[in-house]
């Protein structure tokens, strides 16, 4: 079977990985700065050069590569291979023919997929979701991305927009989310929302080690620092993660009622808090979900780390090419 290349189009870096889609193994990878401020044409040219470099440095011929999958952060027209709105790139890339451009520059068939849907597919095939047929992924970082695999198939919906689990409404009177809605999960439990809870606790003068840990510079409060304080026994920090986990559990409960996942996978940078986040999610699900057998749903951490997206993008390209 041919190898496939998975691309992660990030706001800071471009990453290309040569993937064995039968085993999920990353055979070779390379990254380069995105330099997104230079505009789509420059970025796509850089991406094509990166693809060529990976093939050459992996000592392969282009004929050995079956195609390219690109994980992009935003709204896509997957059928046309066009970007509609990319959230982390200057200019937002409206109507940019990304697939066609990379095909023209490299001679390789290219397919697009949302970056967190790529993570979801990677985890389903070779990570924390392997062995089950229905999974839900919450990627908790600067925002909260998501993805669903139902009965063994990645759920895409209209234009690949299905699976935005971070935009489930958990409080219709809640704060405005970056998407424009009120009360989305992302507004309550993303990395910035967790950090904001820590800043508020220090500003209110609560008894907590967060102030000394950040030397009373509120801009230095991060989810990682709050997790560190919680692990050292700080009650305020533990309370913050309890609350974040509760909010994610509320959204996950809705997903359980809707699609009955056998596994809920928590990924993204904030997931490094581990059980500080997982335990309140699990408790909330047990307390709140009564219409399906919640004791059969596992809540676990992602397993593939930073490689989930490139593995998922490559596997998605292989699937579109008719391989697997």
Q: How far apart are CA 170 and CA 123, in angstroms?
A: 26
Work out whether strand 263-267 and strand 298-301 pair parallel, antiparallel, or are unpaired.
parallel
| Angle, helices 223-231/191-203, rounded to nearest 10 degrees | 60
Phi, psi dihedrals of residue 244, rounded to the nearest 5°: -60, -45
* 169 DSSP 8-state letter: B
- 233-262 per-position pLDDT tens digit: 999 999 999 999 999 999 999 999 999 999
Statement: residue 159 has pLDDT above 90: no
- Banded pLDDT at 81 (limits 50, 70, 90): very high
The answer to whether 44 and 31 are in contact (CB under 8 A) is no
Q: Where are the domains of the chain?
A: 3-121+307-320, 131-303
Q: Do domains 3-121+307-320 and 131-303 have the same CATH topology?
A: yes
Helix (H, G, I), strand (E, B) or coil at 151: coil
**CA distance to 4, 83, 122, 312, per residue, from 17 (Å):** 8, 21, 13, 11
297-324: average pLDDT: 94
* 177 DSSP 8-state letter: P
Q: How far apart are CA 315 and CA 317, in angstroms?
A: 5
- Banded pLDDT at 288 (limits 50, 70, 90): very high
- 87-111 per-position pLDDT tens digit: 879 999 999 999 999 999 999 999 9
Find the largest Cα–Cα distance for the chain. Answer: 64
- 181-201 per-position pLDDT tens digit: 999 999 999 999 999 999 999
Output the pTM of the full model: 0.94
What is residue 324's predicted lDDT score, i.e. its pLDDT? 63
Statement: residue 20 has pLDDT above 90: yes
**Which CATH number, 3.40.50.300, 3.30.365.10, 3.30.420.40, 3.40.50.720, labels domain 131-303?**
3.30.420.40
Write down the CATH number for the domain with range 3-121+307-320.
3.30.420.40
The answer to whether 8 and 115 are in contact (CB under 8 A) is yes
What is residue 115's predicted lDDT score, i.e. its pLDDT? 94
């Amino acid at each position: 079977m041919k190898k496939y290349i998975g691309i992660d189009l990030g706001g800071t870096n471009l990453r290309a990985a040569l993937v064995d889609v039968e085993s999920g193994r990353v055979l070779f990878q390379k990254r380069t700065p995105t330099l997104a401020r230079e505009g789509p044409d420059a970025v796509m040219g850089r991406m094509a050069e990166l693809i060529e470099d990976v093939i050459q440095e992996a000592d392969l011929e282009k004929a050995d590569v079956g195609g390219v999958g690109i994980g992009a952060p935003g709204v896509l027209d997957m059928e046309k291979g066009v970007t509609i709105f990319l959230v982390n790139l200057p200019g937002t890339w409206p109507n940019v023919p990304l697939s066609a451009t990379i095909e023209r520059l490299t001679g390789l068939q290219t397919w697009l997929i949302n970056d967190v849907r790529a993570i979801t597919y990677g985890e389903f095939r070779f990570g924390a979701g392997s062995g089950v047929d229905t999974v839900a992924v919450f990627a908790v970082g600067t925002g909260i991305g998501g993805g669903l695999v139902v009965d063994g198939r990645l759920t895409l919906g209209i234009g690949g927009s299905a699976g935005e689990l971070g935009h489930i409404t958990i409080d219709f009177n809640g704060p405005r989310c970056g998407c424009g809605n009120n009360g989305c999960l992302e507004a309550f439990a993303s990395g910035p929302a967790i950090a904001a809870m820590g800043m508020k606790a220090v500003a209110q003068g609560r008894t907590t080690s967060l102030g000394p840990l950040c030397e009373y510079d509120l801009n230095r409060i991060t989810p990682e620092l709050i997790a560190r304080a919680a692990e050292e026994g700080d009650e305020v920090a533990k309370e913050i993660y309890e609350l974040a986990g509760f909010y994610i559990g509320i959204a996950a409960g809705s997903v359980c009622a809707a699609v009955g996942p056998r596994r809920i996978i928590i990924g993204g940078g904030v997931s490094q808090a581990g059980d500080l986040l997982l335990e309140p999610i699990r408790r909330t699900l047990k307390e709140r979900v009564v219409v399906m057998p919640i004791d059969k749903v596992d809540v676990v951490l992602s397993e593939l780390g930073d490689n989930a997206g490139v593995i998922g993008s490559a596997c998605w390209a292989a699937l579109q090419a008719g391989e697997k």
